[in-house]
Chains A and B, each alone.
Chain A
């Protein structure tokens, strides 16, 4: 018995050493909320990363191993999760959903000099404050401006805003929206109401909003479920006007929770499946539909593209050296992804069109408009 024990212990000691000698795989960290308020966003992006890893499993002749770090939708936890990814030896990081979480992780990645790439975090601060973060989505000053122009185009003269106060993304988007709206005569924001992510009851807030008789309610939220609750409660209070919101509304929960109340709601997003963008689009769509048996949300395809972009950068860097990967990543230009062509600007942000979609009575969404920057 003692011998067996000794042997097992010896083997256990030997194993990590053997693993280090072989160095068979390249580790990429997946930095996402798997639990907590924005867990659903993390789940969508994970689908994209996993699918891309299945179809393109290697780089530089080695296997890519995805290492998951759950940032728990919490900024303090995000710092810990980021540190634990670094400690596990990842050479690059993908994620996170929710700008605030990316910012928290960014501090660690900058300190440890690990190149990071987010698929959908749109707040400008993510890449502005961090010399190691890049993104393949557009940024909120652009998105907010386009939302304001959308409101103007539709003659929504009186606009009420429901803003999730504890989300950097939601607060930022409203600011850029208001900045642009100020340039248009005759359009005004009649009410800005703040709520917290944990709030469930919006009846009193909506009472104040409806008393101002808005033409439209702009829901700026960290994830679609809050917008869905607002829509449902607003309709129950007799509101008959329109709704619109940013890219976080592009998720299945919008309709599953709001039901009929979401009908006619318009939101911005990165991509529309009905408008195949590149030759890689159909490869992604076929693989996704056969694996998950449903239609992908925009966040899924963006995550898929983030993986491919990072893989391409490592390939071009030709090594796993962090400086080389960062340089190659920031120099990404004309890379063909499944959702469109990706070129990073000098602020390491992607420049890409914004898509407008509308929710139908049966819960599907249709393409409404696409605006180039």
Chain B
């Protein structure tokens, strides 16, 4: 039974999930671009953001716009702090050390959240302005499903502007190219990297708010799954490339939703399809869809 209604419904669901993945994937790709580091703690920073919203609205009864602003700021600072404490001291160490450190931060945050917030799942506060359901004929659309793609698009444009048109962006690109040379040219390495983490984590914060309102559940392990999916999305699109991350996120979202819609019996294997696509793409184009040529530094 694939009438027009169902097709439209499926496409909106896919677009909304894909844009969410895209938003989170950007954070991975930015950090990788600048530091050549896969920030495994990204999913956990995303998780902490959800708890901040919960406590802001449910416990301190702050209005949503205050809570959201605070959440994004605190999340951004947390990401920057992680960089300062766990990654910066290892910057001149072998690549593998900093990677292991990232995994450590990820486990640390997950366990810290379990200790502080407890293992029981909490409900994400619902804000009617975002979570009401609109109906167009027989198509039911969460307001969020429309808001998420718009937010992602706007943030992507702002980010592209920042990277291409501002001095900070120029510094980022220089550091990404070669950070020894960049620091010789007088670029403040620490500051540039901190800003990258700040922006990447802020995006994780925005993603967490959207994710929470859409899926309504918070738990200390909730960051793991989107963390992996968005990492795949970033690699699929070409890690280090912002537009690639968005493309990758959208693709993963569409594959997941469309495969399940077409073959409900295969739904238990839906993650496998995302991986199969990833493997095929990497076989054909090892740097990802939009990834540039990489020159291995010696």
* Residue ranges of A at the interface with B (Cβ–Cβ < 8 Å): 33-37, 39-40, 42-43, 165, 191, 193-196, 198-201, 203-205, 207-209, 211, 223, 225, 228-229, 232, 236-238, 253, 256-259
Choose from A35, A39, A195, A229 the contact partner of B268 (Cβ within 8 Å).
A195
Choose from A35, A196, A238 the contact partner of B220 (Cβ within 8 Å).
A35
**Contact B257 A203, beta carbon cutoff 8 Å:** yes
Q: Which residue of A lies closest to B211 (CB)?
A: A200
Please indicate the chain B residues that have their CB under 8 angstroms from the CB of A225 in the complex.
121, 217, 219
**Contact A40 B120, beta carbon cutoff 8 Å:** yes
Q: Is B221 an interface residue (CB 8 A)?
A: yes
A71 to chain B, nearest CB (A): 12
B281 to chain A, nearest CB (A): 22
A360 to chain B, nearest CB (A): 18
Which segment of B132-140, B171-179, B189-197 sits at the interface? B132-140
**Contact B120 A208, beta carbon cutoff 8 Å:** no
Please indicate the chain A residues that have their CB under 8 angstroms from the CB of B271 in the complex.
196
Central interface residue in B6, B126, B217, by most chain A CB within 10 Å: B217
Choose from B133, B216, B220 the contact partner of A257 (Cβ within 8 Å).
B216
Q: Is B123 an interface residue (CB 8 A)?
A: yes
Given A198-B224, A257-B217, A259-B126, answer yes or no on A203-B268 (Cβ-Cβ < 8 Å): no
Q: Is B260 an interface residue (CB 8 A)?
A: yes
Q: Which residue of A lies closest to B142 (CB)?
A: A236
**Contact A201 B256, beta carbon cutoff 8 Å:** yes
Choose from B10, B133, B217, B222 the contact partner of A228 (Cβ within 8 Å).
B217
Q: Is B34 an interface residue (CB 8 A)?
A: no
Q: Which residue of A lies closest to B215 (CB)?
A: A200
**Contact A195 B140, beta carbon cutoff 8 Å:** no
Given A201-B17, A228-B217, A229-B217, answer yes or no on A196-B268 (Cβ-Cβ < 8 Å): yes
A258 to chain B, nearest CB (A): 8
Q: Is B44 an interface residue (CB 8 A)?
A: no
7 closest A-B pairs by CB: A39-B119, A208-B264, A194-B268, A204-B260, A40-B120, A203-B13, A200-B215
Please indicate the chain A residues that have their CB under 8 angstroms from the CB of B226 in the complex.
200
Q: Is B67 an interface residue (CB 8 A)?
A: no
**Contact A193 B119, beta carbon cutoff 8 Å:** no
**Contact B264 A191, beta carbon cutoff 8 Å:** yes
Please indicate the chain A residues that have their CB under 8 angstroms from the CB of B225 in the complex.
198-200
Given A196-B268, A211-B1, A257-B121, answer yes or no on A229-B216 (Cβ-Cβ < 8 Å): yes
A181 to chain B, nearest CB (A): 19
Contact-size category for B: 35 or more
* Measured CA separation A357–B177 after assembly (Å): 63
Choose from A39, A165, A193 the contact partner of B120 (Cβ within 8 Å).
A39
Q: Is B114 an interface residue (CB 8 A)?
A: yes
* Measured CA separation A209–B257 after assembly (Å): 14
B208 to chain A, nearest CB (A): 12
* Measured CA separation A33–B224 after assembly (Å): 18
Central interface residue in B1, B120, B257, by most chain A CB within 10 Å: B120
Please indicate the chain B residues that have their CB under 8 angstroms from the CB of A39 in the complex.
114, 118-120, 219
A37 to chain B, nearest CB (A): 7
Instruction: State the total of A-B contacts with C-beta under 8 angstroms.
Output: 106
* Measured CA separation A258–B217 after assembly (Å): 9
Q: List 10 A-B contacts (CB under 8 A).
A: A33-B119, A36-B119, A39-B219, A191-B264, A195-B267, A204-B256, A225-B121, A238-B135, A256-B122, A257-B217
**Contact A236 B1, beta carbon cutoff 8 Å:** no
Other A-B pairs, 6, CB within 8 Å; known A204-B267, A232-B216: A36-B221, A43-B120, A194-B265, A205-B267, A228-B216, A258-B216
* Measured CA separation A53–B8 after assembly (Å): 57
**Contact B119 A257, beta carbon cutoff 8 Å:** no
**Contact B17 A193, beta carbon cutoff 8 Å:** no
* Measured CA separation A256–B258 after assembly (Å): 30
* Measured CA separation A223–B221 after assembly (Å): 15
**Contact A204 B119, beta carbon cutoff 8 Å:** no
A53 to chain B, nearest CB (A): 20
Q: Is B9 an interface residue (CB 8 A)?
A: yes
Please indicate the chain A residues that have their CB under 8 angstroms from the CB of B258 in the complex.
204
Choose from B13, B119, B123, B265 the contact partner of A207 (Cβ within 8 Å).
B13
**Contact A208 B140, beta carbon cutoff 8 Å:** no
**Contact A35 B119, beta carbon cutoff 8 Å:** yes
Q: Give the residues from 90 to 137 in chain B that come closer than 8 angstroms, CB to CB, to chain A.
A: 114, 118-123, 126, 133, 135
Given A39-B120, A193-B267, answer yes or no on A207-B140 (Cβ-Cβ < 8 Å): no
**Contact A194 B267, beta carbon cutoff 8 Å:** yes
B268 to chain A, nearest CB (A): 4
* Measured CA separation A236–B10 after assembly (Å): 14
Q: Is B261 an interface residue (CB 8 A)?
A: yes
Given A36-B221, A43-B118, answer yes or no on A205-B123 (Cβ-Cβ < 8 Å): no
**Contact B119 A200, beta carbon cutoff 8 Å:** no
